[in-house]
Amino acid sequence: MAVALPMESNPETMNKYLQKLGVSDKWRMADVVGLEEDALNWVPRPVLAVVLLFPLSDAYEKHRSDQEQELERKGLQPPKDVFHLKQVLSNVCGTIALVHSIANNMNSIEIDDGLLKKYLHDAKGLDAAAKGALLENSSAILEAYREIVRSGGQEATEAEEIVNNHFVTFIHKDGVLFELDGRKAFPINHGPTSPERLLEDAAKVCREFIAREPDNIGFNVVALVPAQ
């Protein structure tokens, strides 16, 4: 089994990784320095995806469990046109967040032939669990991130590191704001949004994550935006 390195919420490293996977350099991850309206105005538009890094905690686990039980009780089915994959390996949530960001915006983003394009092609028609298993077996995608870390002069240890942070992605699809979390069985519907309001509406949900963790400061937000 491949050993995944934990990803930092670092746009520079993320962008090198995306380009290595074949994603067009016309798009990039950029820091979102604040979640209030004034700070959001500085983020380039259009925003195609928002990625939140947050600390794993008992509060998150309880919220996740309650949320999934409610969805199962309602008998909701996952939306067919949203690309969502389940996390299998530890430390791979950063890669999953980037895959969620790109895979749900293929109408806007060009991808060259390569590792990610092949994965997305092979994942067509699979359910979330099978998509996760396929990523687990796509060791070259995980190794590509390790190579980026090495090239940056960081030490890529072979031992799997235990991390207590997690990434989730927010996207717009068919007028709905979806939260995509590899640790959840379903995409989470957060209500209506639009391409123009995706960042503002995702920021509101991010603030709810932060409100559940009043004693934690380990939050960071980045967005997928046009390269300047």
pLDDT digits (tens, 9 = 90+) for 173-217: 999 999 999 999 899 999 999 999 999 999 999 999 999 998 888
- How far apart are alpha carbons 84 and 86 in whole angstroms? 7
Q: How confident is the model at residue 228 (pLDDT cuts 50, 70, 90)?
A: confident
3 has pLDDT over 90: no
Has 166 been annotated as catalytic? yes
**Once rounded to an integer, what is the mean pLDDT over residues 130-144?**
94
* Domain membership flag for residue 1: no
pLDDT computed for residue 22 by the predictor: 97
Q: Which residue in the list 84, 100, 166, 172 is annotated as catalytic?
A: 166
**Once rounded to an integer, what is the mean pLDDT over residues 46-70?**
93
* Domain membership flag for residue 131: yes
- How far apart are alpha carbons 18 and 34 in whole angstroms? 24
* Domain membership flag for residue 3: no
**Once rounded to an integer, what is the mean pLDDT over residues 100-129?**
96
Has 206 been annotated as catalytic? no
Helices H, strands E: what count in the chain? 8, 6
pLDDT computed for residue 80 by the predictor: 84
pLDDT computed for residue 20 by the predictor: 96
- How far apart are alpha carbons 93 and 9 in whole angstroms? 11
71-81 as b/e: b if 16+ CB within 10 A: beeeeeeeeee
Containing structural domain, residue 154:
11-226
* Domain membership flag for residue 124: yes
- CATH, residue 181: 3.40.532.10
Q: How confident is the model at residue 63 (pLDDT cuts 50, 70, 90)?
A: very high
* Domain membership flag for residue 133: yes
Counting the structural domains of the chain, the total is 1
112 beta partners = none
Q: Report the percentage of the chain scoring pLDDT > 70.
A: 93
**Once rounded to an integer, what is the mean pLDDT over residues 168-177?**
97
Q: Other CB atoms closer than 10 Å to residue 197's CB: what's the count?
A: 14
Lowest mean pLDDT among 65-79, 80-94, 96-110, 111-125: 65-79
- How far apart are alpha carbons 20 and 156 in whole angstroms? 17
pLDDT computed for residue 61 by the predictor: 93
* Domain membership flag for residue 6: no
pLDDT computed for residue 1 by the predictor: 37
* Domain membership flag for residue 83: yes
* Domain membership flag for residue 148: yes
Edge-to-edge strands, sheet with 49-55? 27-31, 220-226, 49-55, 165-173, 176-180, 188-192
Q: Which residue in the list 93, 100, 172, 206 is annotated as catalytic?
A: 93
